[in-house]
Amino acid sequence: MFKELELDALKEIGNIGAGNAATALSMLLSKRVKMRIPEVKSLPFDEVSMLVGGPENVVSGIFFRVEGELAFNILFILGPNDTLNLLKIMLQREKADLNLTSLEESALKEMGNIIASAFVAALADFTKLSLKISVPCLAVDMAGAILSVPLSLYGCIGDTAFLLETEFEEGLDDIKIQFFLIPDDDNAFKVLLNSIGVRASNGNNSSGDGRI
Note the residues at the interface with other proteins (CB under 8 A).
45-46, 49, 54-56, 58, 61, 63, 65, 67, 71, 99, 134-135, 137-149, 151-153, 155-159, 184-185, 204, 208
CB of 160 to other proteins, least distance (A): 11
Nearer to other proteins, 22 or 143 (CB): 143
| Local structure of 15: helix, strand or coil | helix
Nearer to other proteins, 20 or 206 (CB): 206
State the helix-helix crossing angle for 4-29 and 186-195, rounded to 10 degrees: 90
Residues 165, 11 contacting (CB under 8 angstroms): no
In angstroms, the first-to-last Cα distance of the chain is 6
Q: Dihedral, CA atoms, 37, 154, 203, 188, nearest 10 degrees?
A: -60
What's the angle, vertex CA 185, arms to CA 182 and CA 189, rounded to 5?
75
CB of 19 to other proteins, least distance (A): 27
CB of 188 to other proteins, least distance (A): 13
CB of 172 to other proteins, least distance (A): 29
CB of 26 to other proteins, least distance (A): 27
Nearer to other proteins, 173 or 209 (CB): 209
**Three-state SS annotation for 72-138:** EEEEEEECHHHHHHHHHHHHCCCCCCCCCCHHHHHHHHHHHHHHHHHHHHHHHHHHCCCEEECCCEE
Sign of the alpha-carbon dihedral angle for 15, 18, 24, 29: negative
Nearer to other proteins, 157 or 191 (CB): 157
What's the angle, vertex CA 65, arms to CA 49 and CA 111, rounded to 5?
80
CB of 127 to other proteins, least distance (A): 21
Nearer to other proteins, 9 or 161 (CB): 161
Nearer to other proteins, 33 or 188 (CB): 188
